[in-house]
Amino acid sequence: MKIRPAATGAALLAIAFTLSACGSSESTGTGAAQPAGEAGATGGKVGIDFPRADSDFWNSYNKYIPQMASELGVDLMPPTNSQNDVAKLVANVQALSGQGAKAIVMAPQDTGAIASTLQNLENKNIPVVSVDTRPDKGKVYMVVRADNKAYGTKACEFLGEKLGGKGKVVQLMGALSSINGRDRAEAFGACMKEKFPGITVFNEPTEWEGTKAASMLQTRLEQHPDIKGVYMHAGGVHLAPTIQVLKAKNLIAPPEDPKHVFVISNDGIPQEFEAIRKGEIDATLSQPADLYAKYALFYAKAAIDGKTFQPGPTDHDSTIIQLPNGLEDQLPAPLVTKENVDDQALWGNQVK
């Protein structure tokens, strides 16, 4: 990074922050912290709301938060949990702001219903970091998220190639009120239509609920016993019921067996890795729960300290993109199969 001789003290502070936290960059301003117009606060409390406790993925994320707060020196308030209820999220956020939060981390599951809360926080000058989900409206300081359209495309390509471009697959979708559910579903459908028009896709909106996923998958298999592929939007809630249904139908078999149903998931939780090792599913896309926790708190602290960011590549293998209502740091989410499932660099292999 080039430093101008006339750099002010505030600029030098921001550059030092970038070198230590985001890494150096030859391209000034791309994915790097920039000095705010005025000196920012020296610190403050970060409020955080956990979105739910009924998902193995989110439970892992929840456990990473205190660890990352300690490593980053974040003054973390006692977390709240909105239990997949936007009304509880609104109430929790009001309580956190009333208790002195200077920045708030949240993961709204209904991304269309949080706009007024975000507006209220903006009016109070409380920056918001949204994790995993991108609010449809309302200002956010940063969204920490993986490229969810890439999830759908990668899942489509995996199943399309395994099925040789022909056959039937079931897509167990999340809630379409969530940007994640929409992104994954739309990308999967568009990819299938363009690259594998010979594959029929049955779309099942599970609302991120395992019981609905099990019921829908069972019904489809009864109607179409020749289904050969399943794409689960979220292993954290879909994995166990999907395996249960496949076992009941005697469809757990080696890939070379004609009975085999190819299954790909999203999340990268340890349970998915174990299922891959056992041959119960074939692949997953690893959502980085550890990095979600780390960079959610990193950006919350940066917001309190008065830092700003610009679109561009970062030094942690991600890209910051511009949104209509803020910025989004798109973290990497690698494909995990039997070939690399034991890679210790994957967060799912580091969970105790």
How does pLDDT run across 173-213, given as a tens digit for each residue? 999 988 899 999 999 999 999 999 999 999 999 999 999 99
Pairing label, strands 199-205, 167-173: parallel
Residues 6+ apart with CB under 8 A from 282: 158, 162, 255, 262, 263, 264, 276, 337, 338
The encoded tokens of residue 238 equal 């879909």
The structure tokens 């940066």 sit at 302
Q: Does 128 score more than 80 pLDDT?
A: yes
- State residue 31's pLDDT score: 55
User: Residue 247 contacts by C-beta under 8 Å, 6 or more apart in sequence?
Assistant: none
Question: Kind and range of the H or E element at 264?
Answer: strand 262-267
Q: How confident is the model at residue 56 (pLDDT cuts 50, 70, 90)?
A: confident
Secondary structure (3-state) at 208: coil
Q: Check pLDDT > 90 for residue 87.
A: yes
Q: Which residues pair with residue 178 across a beta bridge?
A: none
| Number of residues that make up the chain | 352
What pLDDT is recorded for position 6?
35
Residue 14, pLDDT above cutoff 80:
no
Distance CA 266, CA 335 (A): 9
User: Does the pLDDT of residue 230 top 70, yes or no?
Assistant: yes
Measure Cα distances from 205 to 32, 178, 197, 264 in Å. 38, 11, 21, 17
**What is the distance between the alpha carbons of residues 232 and 263, in angstroms, rounded to a whole number?**
8
- Residues 237-257, mean pLDDT to the nearest whole number: 97
* Mean pLDDT, range 130-153, rounded to an integer: 95
Among the ranges given (17-31, 76-90, 153-167), the one the predictor scored with the smallest mean pLDDT: 17-31
In contact, 67 and 268? CB cutoff 8 Å = no
pLDDT in tens, 258-305: 999 999 999 999 999 999 999 999 999 999 999 999 999 999 999 999
CB atoms within 10 A of CB 259: 12
The residue whose two tokens read 């949104």 is 323
Q: Which of 222, 221, 107, 301 is nearest to 230 (CA)?
A: 221
Question: Mean pLDDT score of the chain, rounded to an integer?
Answer: 89
Q: Name the DSSP class of 144.
A: E
Q: Which residue has the tokens 């936290």?
A: 21
The whole-number pLDDT of residue 178 equals: 85
Distance (Å, rounded) from C-alpha 233 to C-alpha 238?
Answer: 8
In this prediction, what percent of the chain has a pLDDT beyond 90? 82
